[in-house]
């Protein structure tokens, strides 16, 4: 009838107007974020150009921050450094001989299999992504044995064959069950859980933390996750984290637990769906799987097959995702098998977006998005942040995993110092490789000249503090203690500097210290 057609036309017009309004909002937000990103880049470049006057170590620090945390603009060269900074890297012949990582670190470091980097990765990568045998890493040894040789077989025969009811709370066995129970029961929800102590109690800290958090949040029951598949998959993931100083299973467990705590912020109550929570915890667990202990830029500079495969774009992050989803295809390892197809595809898309956000070269755009949201979004009187669309929620989740990945300086000092020793050792091992290959050393990778204390002060001033300060504004007051710990740790490292002076930025003048100016 005419009335029905008129009503339908009116509804259609309203829907079109709504769509146009949403599109306009998205375009406006993107434009503001792009302007903020450009502004932050310029501010950071200006400040870093000043500290280069402080001597050779200060120049190294500046080059390190630029090459790691600033995504090169189109047309930039020099290994990811922003325009005006020279990496000093010359073209060298590709070295095809196999190289091995240095011997295992002592102490509480991860004890999984070592990984090696090789120019023979191309064929091996196809094995990793198509083989029906044990999971093959993108790295191989001279013997051509895969890194998966000690991993679980495709049928999961080395996985836990049966799961007693008492075990599923933690997902692992331990020869110190009372200590394990104390750590999980008392500290799982606390910022500053001693993940190194947990790694001494169980050889599978990642499985322990991930399963415990899923159980506590009711996600296992909510999504009908098979407990057997969950444990099999997580054990397989842990087997594919390698014995590198920093990017190992202990780091992954720390990022999962840190994200769990950040999700508990009062301001984020009811913001995220259960599927989004499951997605970010999964992304945290796999975000560095099969990491070789080398940077993206090293793989690009050495013409590594992974860099060729992923066109120099977020090389490792793309690889971590490929391995993580390949492991899900192994029989008895699909913890998402009971998810409806639509939910499964949505979770995959979210996990991809979040793991790609852990590429540190995306830091400025992430910070700009977060700062823009803080300045433009309104918080209700109850203190609950209202995010009315997926795009906004995803930006928060991407920044959350980024914060968790950069949380070491905001942890209790004893934990921060342990993490710092490990990341520096990983950098130094890369520098040793570069020296052996006859190529220029990457910034902060020369163990003979690097200034650890100065690096941490600048790292906090220019990268970590702007991020955490903005996050603290978003979830105020939940992250204030975290920010206070970060400031205390900065002061401690500043007090340890004994050689040439370093130019210190004032914390009201750094790249995240105010609203973006147009």
Question: Is 178 marked within a binding site?
Answer: no
Question: Is 320 marked within a binding site?
Answer: no
Question: Is 288 marked within a binding site?
Answer: yes
- Separation CA 1–CA 7 (nearest Å): 10
514: tokens are 């105010």
Among 377, 403, 401, smallest CA distance to 465 is for: 403
Question: Is 237 marked within a binding site?
Answer: no
Q: Which residues of 141-163 are buried (b: 16+ CB within 10 A; e: fewer)?
A: beeeebbbeebbebebeebbeee
Phi, psi at residue 116, to the nearest 5°?
A: -130, 150
- Separation CA 451–CA 446 (nearest Å): 10
- Separation CA 463–CA 359 (nearest Å): 14
Q: ω into residue 70 within 30 of 0, thus cis?
A: no
- Separation CA 492–CA 413 (nearest Å): 9
Among 65, 72, 51, 47, smallest CA distance to 442 is for: 65
Asked if residues 395 and 370 have their Cβ atoms less than 8 Å apart, the reply is yes
- Separation CA 469–CA 513 (nearest Å): 8
Among 58, 49, 47, smallest CA distance to 455 is for: 58
Question: Is 122 marked within a binding site?
Answer: no
The catalytic position among 124, 242, 247, 320 is 247
Q: Which helix (H) or strand (E) holds 258?
A: helix 249-263
State the Rg of the chain over Cα.
23
Question: Is 248 marked within a binding site?
Answer: yes
Half-sphere exposure of 308 (CA within 13 A, CB side): 11
Question: Per DSSP, what are the bridge partners of residue 379?
Answer: 385
Geometric angle at alpha carbon 232, from 104 and 150, rounded to 5°: 35
SS (H, E, C) 119-176: CCHHHHHHHHHHCCCCCCCCCECCCCCEHHHHCCCCCCCCCCCCCCCCCCCCCCCCCC
- Separation CA 405–CA 233 (nearest Å): 22
For this structure, is 242 an active site residue? no
Secondary structure letter of residue 379 according to DSSP = B
Question: Is 427 marked within a binding site?
Answer: no
Q: Which residues are annotated as a binding site?
A: 247-251, 287-288, 405, 456
Q: Which residues are annotated as a binding site for AMP?
A: 247-251, 288, 405, 456
Q: Which residues are annotated as a binding site for Zn(2+)?
A: 251, 287-288, 405
Would you name the residues annotated as active-site residues? 247
């Amino acid at each position: 009838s005419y009335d029905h057609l008129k009503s339908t036309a009116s509804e259609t017009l309203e829907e079109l107007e709504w769509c146009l309004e949403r599109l306009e909002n998205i375009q406006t937000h993107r434009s503001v974020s792009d302007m903020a990103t450009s502004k932050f880049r310029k501010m950071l470049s200006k400040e870093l150009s000043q500290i280069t006057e402080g001597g050779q170590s200060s120049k190294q620090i500046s080059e390190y921050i630029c090459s790691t945390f600033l995504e090169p603009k189109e047309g930039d060269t020099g290994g990811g450094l922003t325009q005006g900074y020279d990496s000093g890297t010359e073209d060298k012949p590709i070295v095809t001989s196999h190289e091995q990582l240095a011997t295992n670190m002592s102490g509480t470091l991860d004890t999984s299999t070592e990984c090696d980097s090789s120019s023979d990765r191309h064929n091996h990568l196809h094995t990793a992504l198509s083989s029906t045998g044990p999971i093959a890493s993108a790295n191989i040894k001279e013997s051509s044995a895969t890194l998966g040789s000690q991993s679980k077989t495709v049928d999961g025969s080395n996985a836990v064959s049966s799961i007693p009811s008492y075990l599923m709370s933690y997902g692992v066995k331990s020869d110190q069950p009372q200590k394990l129970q104390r750590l999980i029961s008392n500290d799982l929800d606390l910022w500053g859980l001693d993940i190194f102590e947990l790694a001494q109690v169980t050889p599978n800290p990642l499985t322990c933390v991930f399963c415990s958090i899923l159980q506590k949040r009711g996600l296992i029951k909510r999504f009908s996750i098979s407990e057997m598949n969950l444990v099999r998959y997580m054990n397989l993931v842990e087997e594919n984290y390698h014995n590198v100083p920093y990017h190992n299973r202990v780091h992954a467990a720390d990022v999962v637990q840190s994200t769990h705590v950040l999700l508990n912020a009062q301001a984020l109550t009811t913001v995220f769906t259960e599927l989004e929570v499951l997605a970010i915890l999964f992304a945290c667990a796999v975000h560095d799987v099969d990491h070789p202990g080398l940077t993206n830029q090293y793989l690009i500079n050495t013409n590594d097959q992974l860099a060729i495969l992923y066109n120099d774009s977020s090389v490792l992050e793309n690889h971590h995702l490929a391995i993580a989803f390949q492991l899900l295809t192994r029989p008895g390892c699909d913890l998402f098998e009971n998810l409806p197809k639509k939910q499964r595809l949505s979770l995959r898309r979210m996990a991809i977006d979040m793991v790609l956000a852990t590429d540190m070269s995306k830091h400025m755009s992430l910070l700009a998005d977060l700062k823009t949201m803080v300045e433009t979004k309104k918080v209700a009187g109850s203190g609950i942040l209202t995010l009315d669309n997926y795009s906004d929620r995803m930006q928060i989740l991407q920044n959350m995993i980024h914060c968790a990945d950069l949380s070491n300086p905001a942890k209790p000092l004893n934990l921060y110092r342990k993490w710092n020793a490990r990341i520096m050792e990983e950098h130094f091992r890369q520098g040793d490789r570069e020296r052996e290959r006859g190529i220029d050393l990457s910034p902060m990778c020369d163990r003979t000249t690097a200034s650890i204390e100065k690096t941490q002060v600048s790292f906090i001033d220019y990268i970590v503090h702007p991020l955490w300060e903005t996050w603290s504004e978003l979830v105020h007051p939940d992250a204030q203690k975290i920010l206070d710990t970060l400031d205390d740790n900065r002061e401690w490292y500043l007090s340890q500097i004994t050689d040439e002076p370093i130019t210190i930025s004032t914390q009201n003048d750094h790249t995240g210290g105010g609203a973006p100016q147009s």
